[in-house]
Amino acid sequence: MKVSARNTLKGKVKKVTMGPVNAEVDIELPGGTEIVSIITKVSAEALGLKKGMEVYAVIKASNVMVAVD
C-alpha cells in the first residue's frame, strides 16, 4: 500500500461501534495511545474491521490549527 499522506500510524482495532450511517473506530497505537476515527458504515463493513485487527491510521490534513487560552 502506498499513500501520499506522511502520517501513517500502525495500530490495532480496539473497538468498532456501528451506527446507522457511520462507524466509530478506536485504534490503539504501540505505547497505548488511542486514535478515534469516524468512517462510513459501508467502509467499515468493506474493510471487515474487527477488534484486534492490525490497521493503519492515515492522517492527511491541509492545515493544523493552534490555540491558546
Residues 7-56, CATH architecture: Beta Barrel (2.40)
Query: What pLDDT does 7 receive?
Result: 85
Q: What is the DSSP letter of 65?
A: -
- Name the pTM for this structure: 0.84
Helix (H, G, I), strand (E, B) or coil at 43: helix
Q: Report the phi/psi class of residue 41: left, alpha or beta, with left for phi > 0 and alpha for psi in -120 to 50.
A: alpha
Q: What are the residue ranges spanned by the domains of the chain? A: 7-56
User: How is residue 32 written as a grid cell?
Assistant: 497505548
User: How is residue 36 written as a grid cell?
Assistant: 478515534
Query: What pLDDT does 24 receive?
Result: 97
Query: What pLDDT does 32 receive?
Result: 97
Enumerate helices (H) and strands (E) in the chain, giving the number of each: 1, 4
Which tens digit of pLDDT belongs to each residue from 17-48? 999 999 999 999 999 999 999 999 999 999 99
